A = this chain, B = another copy of it.
Amino acid sequence: MALIVQKFGGSSVADAESIKRVAKRIVETRRAGNDVVVAVSAMGDTTDELLDLSAEVTPIPAPRELDMLLSAGERISMALLAMSIKGMGVEAFSFTGSQAGMITTPEHGSAKIVDVTPGRVREALDRGAIAIVAGFQGFSRDSRDITTLGRGGSDTTAVALAAALAADVCEIYTDVDGVFTTDPRVVSVARKIDHITSEEMLELAASGAKVLHLRAVEYARRHGVELHVRSSFTDEPGTIVYDPEKGHPKGEHMEEPIITGVAFEKSEAKVTVAGVPDVPGKAAQIFEIVAKTNANIDMIVQNVSGADTNRTDISFTVPLGDGHRVVGALEAERELLAYESLQYDDQIAKVAVVGAGMRNASGVSAQLFRALYEAGINIEMISTSEIRISVVTRADLMEKAVRALHTAFGLDADSEAVVYAGTGR
């Protein structure tokens, strides 16, 4: 008998009909002889509706009260799901984040899980019941208050429960068939990936792949939780995200593909500090100033200094939302830094190719450069990890770059993928 954690997002439980459909699937998993724990998001638009109400009441809601408000969303969906399952003759109990032992830091809106004490979930399983747990929410022992986990919260709840309960697998139900070699809405011949290592998934999620939240993937990787990303609309297997140290889930020793997928995003801006005196310690000064704005720097490029000027250009990328803060901080220190000009460019995109096979393959970057060159796409910045190469291009060339790389690395399928709409929380 396996212990399976299943996560259903908001679009999977958008109305009474879909709740019943999800309940049926959960009951089938239970009747197949498995112990089942479910993490569920708020129904469809509930969160947005609650946010709208909050905005009508006050422009800047108190974070504690906003968490209290939003946590009502999962309370509704989990109770409806549990009563629907019970209506099908299978014992089920719903638990709030607090009842399920999701202990977090006290930061409202972005709490981090510090402990999981799922005693009541275990008791429910021991009684043969299905446990339905509110995703996205937790409880701080310090403040004794309800918290929410922020973006990717429900996925993280599911993974954290799977880790704490030593579940056999954590199934993430979504509105697509699994993880694809790239977004099928951009590349119609994208292919579903059957198996992917957790490190590859991590790189893809960090580079903009939306199907799984980076945070949940990190948690799963750290705790050795096997993920199964699959569609809530079909019974087809989806994508298994596995720990390579435990070996391939099918016991296969097939050669890893050099490139597993292509990810992309337009969420960053490029800041260029031009004409910086090329003296030791200048870059450190710049990044100390940027660090004080709490902006997350992603890629950094420093040009070779012009021999005659002894000045250099330093470019880096930051999240779009942080860009203007960073520029302001640098402008305020113009005299100290003694640069010639400051440029801000939010028309950039980042495209990344990811593959564990890259470790043992040579010529991957040459292949990437040629593919982009032949597509007429200029590379503005580059960064690499052991299993990833990311490039910055013009934003309006992003999709062209993705298609060129998808084809160049042999990822194109023979037929087009089916694309669904909508995303969960």
Contact = CB atoms under 8 A, between A and B. Distances in A.
Interface of A: 16-17, 19-20, 23, 50, 53-54, 56-62, 64-66, 68-69, 71-73, 75-76, 78-80, 82-84, 86-87, 92-94, 99, 120, 144
Most buried by B among A20, A62, A99: A62
Contacts of A20: 57
Given A53-B76, A71-B75, A72-B75, 20 more contacts: A16-B53, A16-B57, A20-B57, A53-B80, A54-B79, A54-B80, A54-B83, A57-B80, A58-B83, A60-B87, A62-B82, A62-B83, A62-B87, A62-B92, A65-B79, A65-B80, A65-B92, A66-B79, A68-B78, A68-B94
A137 to B, nearest CB: 11
Contacts of A62: 82-83, 86-87, 92
A17 B56 CA distance: 8
Contacts of A92: 62, 65
A64 B93 CA distance: 8
Nearest to A76: B72
Contact of A69 (B58, B66, B68, B80): B80
The quantity of this chain's copies bound in the complex is 2
A89 to B, nearest CB: 11
B57 A87 contact: yes
A16 to B, nearest CB: 3
Contacts of A99: 144
A68 B20 CA distance: 18
Contacts of A73: 72
Given A64-B93, A94-B65, A94-B68, A56 B87 contact: no
25 contacts: A16-B53, A16-B57, A19-B57, A50-B76, A53-B80, A54-B83, A57-B80, A57-B83, A58-B83, A58-B84, A58-B87, A61-B86, A61-B87, A62-B83, A65-B80, A65-B83, A66-B83, A71-B75, A72-B72, A72-B73, A72-B75, A72-B76, A72-B79, A75-B75, A99-B144
Can you list the 9 inter-chain pairs with the closest CB atoms, starting with the nearest? A58-B87, A16-B56, A69-B79, A65-B83, A68-B79, A72-B72, A72-B75, A61-B83, A62-B86
Nearest to A146: B96
A323 to B, nearest CB: 30
A274 to B, nearest CB: 44
Most buried by B among A64, A83, A92: A83
A60 to B, nearest CB: 7
A58 B86 CA distance: 9
Contacts of A87: 57-62
A59 B23 CA distance: 15
A83 to B, nearest CB: 4
B59 A83 contact: no
A76 B120 CA distance: 25
Nearest to A64: B93
Contacts of A120: 144
